[in-house]
Structure 1
Amino acid sequence: MGHSSHRIAIGIDIGGTGIKGASVDLDSGELISERIKIATPEGGHPDAIIEVVAEIVSRIGGPGADSAPLGVTFPAIIRDGHTMSAANVSREWIGLDARSLFGRALGREITFVNDADAAGFAESEFGAAKGRNGLSLVTTLGTGIGAGAIYNGVLIPNFELGHLEIDGHDAESRAAFSAKEREGLGWEEWAARLQRFYEVLEFLFSPDLLIVGGGVSKSHEHFLPLLRLDTPIVPAVHRNNAGILGAAAFAAGA
């Protein structure tokens, strides 16, 4: 960690459309470098993405950046540094030892984490679940439904709650924000679907806190008050930088 008063780590967030990264002060949860964003290369092939990540890391720079822990988020199930699925990127990622590939290319240790898990961990370290005991479930409502589970501050990885089958449907096919847009649903119609999704999560997991992220969470006043749940449900604090923050914090603690 170096001998400075600040604990620093670098977070890189790989998405289907863009790859972004920055240096993070782990005590405050603030970005301490410029946030660098580059479009995800067409096709999302591993070598092309590694090249972009290397460029972002080299441009972040700043004090302690060379030796800082480096975390990378990826839209896939991650097992022991291997990417076991591929959403919005090339199928070449499936089964790939991504951690070793990135590590060799960048000449340093990498921590790999699922993108929704990283967003969840950001809420645990710096957001709505900070200092909370028990089980917090973070769900990001977007193209699909990403999920992160944090128990007493510890991330439980690869919770694919968007793929629970509810009433004969993949939950995210009915309750993701993309379903609202695709079917032209009003807030109340969509909230009825969210109600069903969250009441199943309540029944299965008895969570202590539900946190809702994704871009639509900035409009939370239109739909969260319509939900009738026993569990407190609150909007995420971090949206745009959640992946960067979570990846950095996860790398520092891993």
Structure 2
Amino acid sequence: MQIFGVDIGGSGIKGAPVDLDKGDLAQERFKVLTPQPATPDGVADGVREVVSHYGWTGPVGLTFPGVVTGGSTIRTAANVDKGWIDTDARALFTERLGGLPTTIVNDADAAGVAEVNFGAGRDRKGTVILLTFGTGIGSALFIDGALVPNTELGHLELGGHDAEKRASSKAKDDHELTWEHWAHRVQKYLAHVEMLFSPELFIIGGGVSRKSEKFLHFIEGIKAEIVPAQLQNNAGIVGAAMHAAKDN
């Protein structure tokens, strides 16, 4: 079975048909840049471009980089335009995609669900936390495989700042940090999250998961196991499609 998944991020909108039996992309993904500012209309146009690239006519699952309540209403918009807040995203995307059935889920929650079902968190019991390092820091918290949605742990305070302002992948680029320097910031953040939740496993997702050999070995003093996401930066697309499959 195939469902289309779209992962909306602060810098890019990427999507592809997903093979739900394998938990992997059925075709190579297509990506467009997220418009700046990332307004609802601008992002919806980007999503339409991605879906139209494949001539897709079935259900579409989408992620969003913020809190999604009631399966549609956007409550936070840290790394996109504030005009998203209180937007009925499902209605917006369904209209822009010509009536195709759509579902919306938090981006990190989608990535986490994919990893817990098909990747690094598969068959893991206890508390598992996936953290996506990109434009911000997304989080997905699981207890014995069950998702606790919309945790937004990237906004925990770290050194007087939102953690994602100090330890996201964007922060690394903005401050021109070496991998080692950035890893020390990530270590401080993980120690703070570990103090609060005592997880058995941290899964490191987002684009940096492809480069885990450059920084993971610098992170010390964390009791939990730390592993890169196996689905890497495709996890959000896969999770979005999985979410849509439950709804269709």
State the TM bucket, normalised to the shorter chain: 0.7 to 0.9
How many residue pairs were aligned? Answer: 244
Q: 1:161 aligns with which of 153, 161, 174?
A: 153
Asked if 1:82 is matched to 2:76, the reply is no
Question: SS in structure 1 opposite 2:232?
Answer: coil
Provide the rounded CA distance (Å) in 2 between the counterparts of 1:235 and 1:125.
15
Aligned residue runs from structure 1 range 185-204, under 5 A = 185-204=177-196
**For residue 97 of structure 1, what is the amino acid of its counterpart?**
D
User: Would the alpha carbon gap of residues 52 and 145 (structure 1) be closer, same or farther in structure 2, given more than 3 Å must change?
Assistant: closer
Question: SS in structure 1 opposite 2:233?
Answer: coil
Asked if 1:132 is matched to 2:124, the reply is yes
Query: How big is the shift at 1:167?
Result: 4.1
Which residue in 1 is equivalent to 2:104? 112
Q: CA RMSD in A?
A: 2.3
Question: SS in structure 1 opposite 2:195?
Answer: helix
Query: How big is the shift at 1:8?
Result: 1.9
Asked if 1:13 is matched to 2:7, the reply is yes
Tell me the alpha carbon deviations over residues 81-128 of structure 1, each in whole angstroms, 9 at most, x when there is no partner: 111222443322111111122223431332101122222222112211
Structure 1 residues without counterparts, runs of 5 or longer? 1-6
User: Would the alpha carbon gap of residues 184 and 92 (structure 1) be closer, same or farther in structure 2, given more than 3 Å must change?
Assistant: closer
Provide the rounded CA distance (Å) in 2 between the counterparts of 1:234 and 1:178.
21
**For residue 170 of structure 2, what is the amino acid of its counterpart?**
S
Moved more, 71-80 or 39-48: 39-48
Question: SS in structure 2 opposite 1:96?
Answer: coil
Verify the 8 A CA contact 1:78 1:112 in the aligned structure 2: yes
Structure 2 residues without counterparts, runs of 5 or longer? none
Provide the rounded CA distance (Å) in 2 between the counterparts of 1:190 and 1:20.
26
Give the share of equivalent positions with the same residue, in percent: 50
Q: 1:244 aligns with which of 220, 226, 237?
A: 237
**For residue 147 of structure 1, what is the amino acid of its counterpart?**
S
TM norm structure 1: 0.85
**For residue 25 of structure 1, what is the amino acid of its counterpart?**
D
User: Would the alpha carbon gap of residues 21 and 221 (structure 1) be closer, same or farther in structure 2, given more than 3 Å must change?
Assistant: closer
Which residue in 2 is equivalent to 1:3? none
Query: How big is the shift at 1:34?
Result: 4.2
Provide the rounded CA distance (Å) in 2 between the counterparts of 1:180 and 1:46.
27
Asked if 1:39 is matched to 2:33, the reply is yes
TM norm structure 2: 0.86
